[in-house]
Amino acid sequence: MQMTKIALEEHVTRPQDADLPSLIARPQLRERMIDIHGRMLAEMDAAGIEMCVLSINLNGSVHTMTSTPQAIETARIRNDFLAAQVARNPARFRAFATLPLQDTDAAAAELTRCVKELGFKGVLLDGFTQIDADEAVHYLDLPRFRDFWATLAALDVPAYLHPRDPLESWSHIYDGHPWLRNSRWAFTPETATHALRLMASGLFDTYPNLTIILGHLGETLPASLWRIDHRISRMPPVGIPAQKSLSEYFRRNFYVTTSGNFYTPTLVNAMAFMGADRILFSVDHPFEHMSEAAQWFDGLDVLTAAERQKIARGNARALLKLA
């Protein structure tokens, strides 16, 4: 039976930003990314998706811009673009902001504008941020970002931690095996490690209401956190300010989505670790097809009726405070 669903990791881009070689080489992907009110909406209708939360795709991400003024200007332009798409069809679309974290004051101000003036439902963070130089990598657990997290906590909206590749200079383990990069593998350990840094930093002790969303059914963390906590308890390390186990933060402060991971045993594992209340349906449009995601979810026989309703839309409506 087809369920009415809400999807949260659904990427679009401005036509002006869709001329990157990676998209020109894949014209069908490019078309699906820019035709929001035509092709995307038709795919939503066919898949039983009542609403998508739009976010700007990683290609040309603000997080990769080493010029802070460029990042600030680009973020504002792209957020205005997303707001215009939502305004065309507010019954079907919401948005996550993109932020210039090269300047945390500017990022906090832009987040406040997006939430309070444009009605955005949170922020999508494209992993680490490069500041001033290509090799100047800054992860979001660093002290310089605490004012941004304070603003996010005060606004009480979630942050979706989205994957990106590690810098080539930081990832010699992939040398000679380029197929390991991107969403095939490298996205997963990169994002899982970033999430672990956030948990271990004490961030959630300072701001206990912070909410982080991870895609792909948790980037393997539901299957890994027991062992991580176990080894921490047996070999207490130096440099973990966190006051609780990492599993406690994950169950309290994190949600996971089904984006791009339509595999029933992985869903069952995530539910066993954190419960159905912390799982959200998503697709990962346009890199995955809404029809495939919906057909898998609608055909699941491992969920109770209550669990199915929560994951399909109930949890998202509560988290995003949808009327």
Q: What is the pLDDT of residues 269-300, one digit of tens each?
A: 999 999 999 999 999 999 999 999 999 999 99
pLDDT at 51 over 70: yes
Give SS3 for 94: strand
pLDDT band at 238 (very low <50, low <70, confident <90, very high): confident
Least confident of 18-27, 146-155, 195-204, 278-287: 18-27
Looking at residue 30, what is its pLDDT?
Answer: 84
Tokens encoding 185: 């593998």
Annotated active-site residue in 103, 126, 284, 301: 284
Give the total residue count for the chain.
323
No. of helices (H) and no. of strands (E), the chain: 14, 10
Say which CATH architecture domain 1-58+262-323 belongs to: Alpha-Beta Barrel (3.20)
- Give the integer Cα–Cα distance in Å for 295 and 316: 19
Cβ distance 258 to 282 under 8 Å?
yes
Measured CA distances, 31 to 13, 14, 116, 272 (Å) = 10, 11, 31, 38
Q: Which pLDDT value is given to residue 263?
A: 98
Residue 199 is encoded by which pair of tokens? 């948990």
For the chain, what is the mean pLDDT?
Answer: 94
Residue 90's SS3 state is coil
Over residues 209-227, the pLDDT tens digits come to 999 999 999 999 999 999 9
The yes-or-no verdict on residue 248 having pLDDT over 90 is: yes
Extract the tokens encoding 124: 């999508």
N-to-C CA span, the chain:
25
Residue predicted with more confidence, 18 or 184: 184
The model carries a pTM of 0.96
Mean pLDDT throughout 252-268? 98
Examine the residue annotation and report whether 175 is marked as an active-site residue of this protein. no
Task: Tell how far CA 110 is from the center of its chain.
Answer: 18
